[in-house]
Amino acid sequence: MIKIADILPGLLSETSKTLRRSEIRELLKITKQPGVISFAGGLPYPGLFPIEEMKDVVNTVLDREGEHALQYGPTEGDSRLIDYLVNWMREDEAAEIDEENILIVSGSQQALDLIGKIFINPGEPIIIGLPSYLGALQAFKGFRAKFIGVPVGKEGMDVDKVEEILKEYGKKGERIKFIYVVPDFQNPAGVTMTLKRREKLLDLCYEQGTIVVEDSPYRELRFEGKSVPMVGAMDKKGYAFSLHTFSKILFPGTRIGWIIANKAIMDKLVMAKQPVDLCSSPFSQSVIYEFCRRGLLKPHIERIVKIYRKKRDVMLEALEKYMPKEAGIDWTHPEGGLFLWVTLPAHIDTEEIFPKAVEKKVAYVMGSAFHFDRSGKNTLRLNFSYPSEEQIDEGIKRLTDLFKEAL
């Protein structure tokens, strides 16, 4: 008899051979060891989940519409939730959209996968940030995209570099399929793209004929400063695809997000989603809709913003207090979101230091994990939403000792 283990490798598709486990998910296993202060994850603080309110919301949903909520639903999503989102986006973002521009997805991670599926043929070029959200790299890699990296600095993605690349490809008669950006409090760097850069990015897309995929899970988590309009809200010509999620502003456990997209492409997104999950959980959507209908979302966001702002402040204060700036260590000052980005002198390799950090019971994610070309060796990402204020102070102290040793 043929052994299944002998034939499986030969049965695998070319795409599946390129798939890799997420380094962060692997890392998180190590950081769960007792006593480790973890700045590695990207998790919302679970103490802020509105569990008591949810008990009542869930009971109401089951009593009122259990038969509907526990049944399959339309692929596009629950029309009540879509209506709520349309009104929200119109009021807050001045986005010119209606119900047909929204598709409910199972987390914005699914949106990234669907976008990859409908746009990327193997080997086709897309522009992504250096650094970029790891889950996006994973999703687009699954469709064998050719990554073209553009540096992301304190003002967001370098749009002059984007212009250069688009023009260079244009001359060759090739088109960049899309540009992936996280303009608000980027994961991983915590930086926000300036209005000027957003405007230029959109103009470039119109001029050179490419689209922008705007991933926006952190936008509502602003601690200070003035909100900058979303690229998707500035776009009046259907070039921007915006991705949103309840994961960071409410909780990730229901796995509900939404895409705002050009109607002309909506059908493709729906068809790409159907074979994956038929529809996003109708129960989750009913529960989230009920939570929002009761007017609980906005006060909840206000509450978590207050707490994350304090945690960010504690992390910035600890960095200021302990880290030797004069030794060439620099970090970003995020105006919102969950992350902060540290840059060490060029000769320091944060991947090499990582095992020592775990010995000292403190964890981060090395910057190279967010660079598809494995550059950014001297950088690292710190999360401030999950650890307590005491842990943040102590963890930064431990990291400082480690970096001083390496220097």
Ligand X SMILES: Cc1ncc(COP(=O)(O)O)c(C=O)c1O
Q: Would you count residue 254 as binding ligand X (CB under 6 A)?
A: no
Distance, in Å, from the CA atom of 405 to the CA atom of 366, rounded to the nearest integer, reads: 17
CA distances from 16 to 11, 119, 213, 388 (A): 10, 18, 24, 39
Q: C-beta of 265: minimal distance to ligand X in Å?
A: 19
Beta bridge partners of 245: 257
**Smaller CB separation from ligand X, 187 or 332:** 187
What does the angle CA 371 – CA 24 – CA 127 come to, to the nearest 5 degrees? Answer: 30
Asked if the peptide bond before residue 131 counts as cis, ω within 30 degrees of 0, the response is yes
Told to check if 187 binds ligand X by CB under 6 A, we report yes
Spatial separation of the C-alpha atoms in residues 119 and 148, rounded to whole Å: 16
How far, CA to CA in Å, does 32 sit from each of 100, 193, 300, 381? 43, 33, 28, 17
Count residues binding ligand X (CB under 6 A).
14
Spatial distance between the Cα atoms of 84 and 94, rounded to a whole number of angstroms: 14
Binding of ligand X at residue 252 (CB under 6 A)?
yes
- Check binding of 285 to ligand X (CB under 6 A): no
**Of the residues 31, 38, 101, 108, which one makes contact with ligand X according to CB under 6 A:** 108
| Closer to ligand X by Cβ: residue 251 or 354 | 251
Cβ count within 10 A of residue 191: 26
Among 182, 211, 329, 365, binds ligand X (CB under 6 A): 182
Is 387 a binding residue for ligand X by CB under 6 A? The answer is: no
**How long, in residues, is the chain?**
407
We find the least distance from the C-beta atom of residue 1 to ligand X, in angstroms, to be 42
Does 133 bind ligand X (CB under 6 A)? Our answer is: yes
For residue 253 the two structure tokens come to 């456990």
Is the Cβ of residue 108 or residue 284 nearer to ligand X in the bound state?
Answer: 108
Q: Considering only 18-26, 52-60, 104-112, 115-123, which stretch makes contact with ligand X by CB under 6 A?
A: 104-112
Q: Could you give the string, one character per residue 336-375, with x where binding to ligand X holds by CB under 6 A and - elsewhere?
A: ----------------------------------------
Residue 217 touches ligand X, criterion: CB under 6 A: yes
Q: Determine if 257 is a binding residue for ligand X (CB under 6 A).
A: yes
CB-based contacts of 179, cutoff 8 Å, min separation 6: 126, 127, 128, 157, 162, 201, 205, 210, 211, 212, 213
Give the ranges where 278-326 is alpha helix by DSSP (H): 282-293, 297-322
Minimum distance from residue 109 beta carbon to ligand X (Å): 3
Contact residue for ligand X among 245, 281, 286, 379 (CB under 6 A): 245
Subset of 17-76 contacting ligand X (CB under 6 A):
42
Among 75, 109, 210, 343, binds ligand X (CB under 6 A): 109
Structural contact between residues 352 and 403, judged by C-beta atoms closer than 8 angstroms? no
Amino acid at 279: C
Q: Which is nearer to ligand X, 228 or 348 (CB)?
A: 228
Among 76, 113, 184, 215, binds ligand X (CB under 6 A): 215
Calculated CA dihedral for residues 130, 131, 134, 140, nearest 10 degrees = -20
CB of 43 to ligand X, least distance (A): 9
Residue 192 makes contact with ligand X by CB under 6 A: no
Q: Determine the interface stretch with ligand X among 106-114, 146-154, 264-272, 382-390 (rule: CB under 6 A).
A: 106-114
Minimum CB–partner distance for residue 256 and ligand X (Å) = 8
Specify the residue, 197 or 219, whose C-beta has the smaller distance to ligand X: 219
Q: Which stretch binds ligand X (CB under 6 A): 101-109, 152-160, 266-274, 342-350?
A: 101-109
Residue 43 makes CB contacts below 8 A (sequence gap 6+) with: 252, 383, 385, 386
- SS3 of 102-139: the string is EEEECCHHHHHHHHHHHHCCCCCEEEEEECCCHHHHHH
Which positions lie near ligand X, rule CB under 6 A?
42, 107-109, 133, 135, 182, 187, 215, 217, 245, 247, 252, 257
